[in-house]
């Protein structure tokens, strides 16, 4: 046979942003070996007349670090055409860890997986464990989480690091980069990331910059202090030299709607000054996080056991309530958005209320929403999750359609509660809603945001384009693609993802899972010893 797979007669949207052309694509030994008119014989012939042929999607913002241990296909992503995921976002990665603080890390990671067996230590160890279960459904590459590194060195302490502790963190980040990470992430609303000052992040980002890695940040505030938080991210890029990726960019809370006009302008201006800043977004006007994120950061000091203790004390409850009613110096989501827009999406001890807002639940239980919140946290610790309807459609549209913004799901389904529909629907929804319905993006531009743009940012030389010599990560999709996941019924894969090929392996055929071809991608500076 001349080819393993030939895709014939499709409309090729090659990932560059260029206008589509009609071309066949030939695959052999995991690579794209021919683009053009193909006459040769193939083991598998895919007739793609009338369908779009594009590079497999790259999910620049995922939390799939531990998902492969429970769902080796990474089904929700693979079924929407994703062939590579970037894990380790929002400051949260499963490695490196230290024996003394492993319990703090476990509590911190509980939102990634309910039962985590952390049987590794360094970042490289962790990647090796993933490699043991290869082939995976999708390719995966990782960022090292600043929160994770801080826990390894300082536990859940709410203070600045000493000089030695800062050195130790730098060392761990350097080691993680050498052992395969593509960069570092922060989650500056989540303790312990929230306890770090800008200067600490700059020092650590310098280490990442030396390798050529990226810095992805869930910035310090997406509401009232959104502008200041974007400034901080840009400053970190400017002073450390690291390329910046602003994660799931948004303006949260009604009073802040419209602010993305200014933040996008800030990104443009920073780039004009030579600072490498980009952003990503998912196509929904609701976000999702863990319920405990509603509390002021200091309420998390000392870790989850301490948090639960505070929830049991009437005095502490009063202190926290007061901070939530008045506090503006942290991202106070309830004050910005309102109890009626915060929906409980997963709670082990209040599961019968999943899908309802905290306002509705408190009415039903004849309690006030603060006491409800504290009672759930007292029982669930950091396990329960929320969906928070905090954004405006105008901001979402403005951000998604901006040329410097790529697409990331931020979605995760660990099999409990009602996860955010972005987990199953993000990429198809961008095409359905913003290309077909709102017409604010061309199909070529939308595909670029999903493929070559993230590949370019990450330095992936073999992915993100349909080009001879590139890895055969390919998706064949119907022009009538339809996301079907909703808030009430989130676990529905899209319609119209016809074929997905991962490293030359046909992995999805019309919604049916076939073989796996995904691999762990190790950063290219493996073995280098900068810093
Ligand atoms: Zn985040």
Which pLDDT tens digit goes with each residue over 284-311? Answer: 999 999 999 999 999 999 899 999 999 9
Q: Separation of 486 CA from ligand 1 center, angstroms? A: 21
Q: Separation of 391 CA from ligand 1 center, angstroms? A: 15
Whether residue 98 is found in the same domain as residue 211: yes
CATH code (residue 29) = 2.30.40.10
Q: 194 burial class (0-12, 13-18, 19+ CB within 10 angstroms)? A: buried
What is the reported pLDDT for 520?
97
Whether residue 380 is found in the same domain as residue 414: no
Q: Whole-model pTM?
A: 0.96
Number of domains the chain contains: 3
CATH code (residue 260) = 3.20.20.140
Residue 418 lies in a domain: yes
What is the reported pLDDT for 485?
97
Q: What is the mean pLDDT of residues 257-274?
A: 98
The pLDDT > 70 percentage for the chain reads 99
Whether residue 277 is found in the same domain as residue 414: yes
Q: Separation of 25 CA from ligand 1 center, angstroms? A: 37
Q: Separation of 92 CA from ligand 1 center, angstroms? A: 9
Q: Separation of 402 CA from ligand 1 center, angstroms? A: 20
Residue 526 has pLDDT above 70, yes or no: no
Residue 244 has pLDDT above 90, yes or no: yes
Banded pLDDT at 480 (limits 50, 70, 90)? very high
CA angle 492, 452, 112 (to 5 degrees): 45
Q: What is the mean pLDDT of residues 141-146?
A: 98
Whether residue 300 is found in the same domain as residue 429: no
What is the reported pLDDT for 527?
55
More confident residue, 93 or 524: 93
Q: What is the mean pLDDT of residues 483-510?
A: 97
What is the reported pLDDT for 324?
95
What is the reported pLDDT for 329?
83
Residue 456 lies in a domain: no
Nearest to 426 by CA among 216, 286, 275, 219: 286
Whether residue 181 is found in the same domain as residue 261: yes
Strands in 421-494 per DSSP E: 474-482
Strands in 359-467 per DSSP E: 385-388, 405-407
Residue 58 has pLDDT above 60, yes or no: yes
Q: What is the mean pLDDT of residues 399-417?
A: 96
Structural domain containing residue 349: 290-388
Q: What is the mean pLDDT of residues 215-239?
A: 98
* Structure confidence by residue, pLDDT tens digits, 82-117: 999 999 999 999 999 998 888 888 888 887 877 778
Residue 85 lies in a domain: yes
Q: Separation of 429 CA from ligand 1 center, angstroms? A: 20
Q: d(Cα 506, Cα 349) in Å, to the nearest integer?
A: 41
* Structure confidence by residue, pLDDT tens digits, 195-219: 999 999 999 999 999 999 999 999 9
- Quickly list DSSP for 216-272: EEE-S-SSTTHHHHHHHHHHHHHHH---EEETT----SGGGTTTHHHHHHHHHHHHH
Q: Separation of 521 CA from ligand 1 center, angstroms? A: 22
Q: d(Cα 9, Cα 212) in Å, to the nearest integer?
A: 40
What is the reported pLDDT for 528?
59
- Of 432, 450, 468, which residue constitutes the final position of a domain? 450
* Contact (Cβ atoms closer than 8 angstroms) between residue 189 and residue 224: no
Q: d(Cα 466, Cα 452) in Å, to the nearest integer?
A: 10
Kindly report the number of other CB atoms within 10 A of residue 465's CB atom: 23
Residue 233 lies in a domain: yes
Residue 479 lies in a domain: no
What is the reported pLDDT for 109?
86
Residue 486 lies in a domain: no
Q: Separation of 322 CA from ligand 1 center, angstroms? A: 26
Q: Separation of 100 CA from ligand 1 center, angstroms? A: 26
Q: Separation of 435 CA from ligand 1 center, angstroms? A: 26
Q: Separation of 250 CA from ligand 1 center, angstroms? A: 11
Whether residue 7 is found in the same domain as residue 143: no
- Of 388, 407, 424, which residue constitutes the final position of a domain? 388
Q: d(Cα 349, Cα 379) in Å, to the nearest integer?
A: 7
* Structure confidence by residue, pLDDT tens digits, 318-353: 999 999 999 778 899 999 999 999 999 999 999 999
Q: d(Cα 64, Cα 71) in Å, to the nearest integer?
A: 10
What is the reported pLDDT for 531?
44
* Structure confidence by residue, pLDDT tens digits, 145-167: 999 999 999 999 999 999 999 99
Q: What is the mean pLDDT of residues 27-36?
A: 98
Whether residue 15 is found in the same domain as residue 29: yes
Residue 341 lies in a domain: yes
Q: Separation of 141 CA from ligand 1 center, angstroms? A: 17
User: Which residues, other chains included, contact 243 with Cβ-Cβ below 8 Å and sequence gap of 6+?
Assistant: 214, 215, 237, 276, 277, 278, 457
Q: What is the mean pLDDT of residues 128-136?
A: 97
- Of 388, 412, 439, which residue constitutes the final position of a domain? 388
* Contact (Cβ atoms closer than 8 angstroms) between residue 6 and residue 40: yes
Q: DSSP 3-state assignment of 193?
A: helix
Whether residue 430 is found in the same domain as residue 506: no
* Contact (Cβ atoms closer than 8 angstroms) between residue 365 and residue 338: no
* Contact (Cβ atoms closer than 8 angstroms) between residue 427 and residue 454: no
> Across the strands, what pairs with 87?
142
Whether residue 297 is found in the same domain as residue 281: no
Whether residue 97 is found in the same domain as residue 189: yes
What is the reported pLDDT for 219?
98
Q: Separation of 218 CA from ligand 1 center, angstroms? A: 5
Residue 410 lies in a domain: yes
Whether residue 271 is found in the same domain as residue 407: yes
Mean pLDDT, the chain, integer? 95
Whether residue 177 is found in the same domain as residue 263: yes
């Amino acid at each position: 046979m001349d080819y393993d797979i030939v895709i014939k007669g499709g409309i090729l949207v090659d990932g560059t942003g260029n206008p589509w052309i009609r071309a066949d694509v030939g695959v052999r030994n995991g690579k794209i070996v021919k683009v053009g008119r193909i006459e040769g014989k193939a083991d598998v012939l895919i007739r793609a007349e009338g369908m779009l042929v594009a590079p497999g999607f790259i999910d620049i913002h995922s939390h799939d670090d531990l998902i492969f241990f429970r769902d080796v296909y990474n089904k929700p992503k693979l079924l929407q055409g994703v062939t590579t995921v970037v894990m380790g976002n929002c400051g949260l990665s499963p490695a490196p860890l230290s024996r003394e603080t492993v319990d703090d890390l476990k509590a911190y990671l509980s939102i990634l997986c309910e039962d985590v067996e952390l049987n590794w230590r360094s970042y490289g160890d962790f990647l090796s464990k993933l490699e043991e279960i290869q082939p995976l459904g999708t390719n995966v590459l990782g960022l090292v989480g600043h929160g994770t590194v801080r826990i390894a060195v300082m536990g859940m302490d709410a203070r600045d690091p000493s000089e030695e502790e800062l050195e130790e963190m730098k060392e761990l980040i350097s080691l993680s980069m050498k052992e395969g990470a593509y960069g570092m992430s922060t989650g500056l609303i989540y303790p312990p990331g929230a306890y770090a000052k800008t200067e600490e992040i700059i020092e650590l980002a310098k280490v990442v910059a030396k390798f050529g890695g990226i810095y992805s940040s869930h910035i310090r505030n997406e509401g009232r202090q959104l502008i200041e938080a974007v400034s901080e991210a840009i400053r970190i890029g400017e002073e450390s030299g690291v390329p910046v990726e602003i994660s799931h960019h948004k303006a949260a809370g009604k009073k802040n709607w419209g602010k993305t006009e200014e933040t996008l302008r800030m990104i443009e201006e920073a780039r004009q000054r030579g600072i490498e800043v980009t952003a990503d977004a998912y196509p929904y006007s609701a976000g999702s996080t863990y319920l405990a994120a509603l509390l002021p950061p200091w309420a998390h000091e000392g870790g989850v056991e301490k948090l639960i203790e505070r929830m049991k004390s009437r005095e502490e409850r009063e202190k926290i309530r007061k901070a939530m009613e008045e506090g503006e110096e942290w991202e106070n989501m309830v004050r910005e958005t309102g109890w009626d827009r915060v929906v409980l999406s997963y709670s082990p001890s209040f599961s019968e209320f999943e899908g309802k807002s905290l306002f509705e639940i408190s009415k039903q239980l004849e309690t006030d929403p603060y006491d409800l919140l504290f009672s759930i946290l007292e029982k669930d610790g950091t396990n329960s999750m929320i969906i928070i309807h905090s954004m405006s459609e105008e901001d979402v549209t403005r951000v998604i359609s901006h040329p410097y913004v790529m697409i990331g799901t931020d979605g995760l389904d660990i099999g409990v509660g009602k996860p955010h529909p972005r987990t199953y629907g993000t990429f198809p929804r961008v095409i359905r809603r913003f290309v077909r319905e709102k017409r604010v993006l061309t199909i070529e531009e939308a595909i670029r945001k999903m493929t070559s743009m993230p590949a370019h940012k990450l330095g992936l030389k073999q992915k993100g384009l349909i080009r001879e010599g590139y890895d055969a990560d390919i998706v064949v999709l119907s022009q009538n693609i339809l996301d079907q996941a909703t808030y009430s019924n989130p676990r529905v894969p899209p319609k119209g993802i016809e074929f997905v090929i991962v490293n030359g392996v046909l992995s999805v055929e019309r919604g049916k899972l076939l073989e796996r071809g995904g691999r762990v991608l190790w950063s290219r500076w493996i073995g280098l010893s900068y810093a």
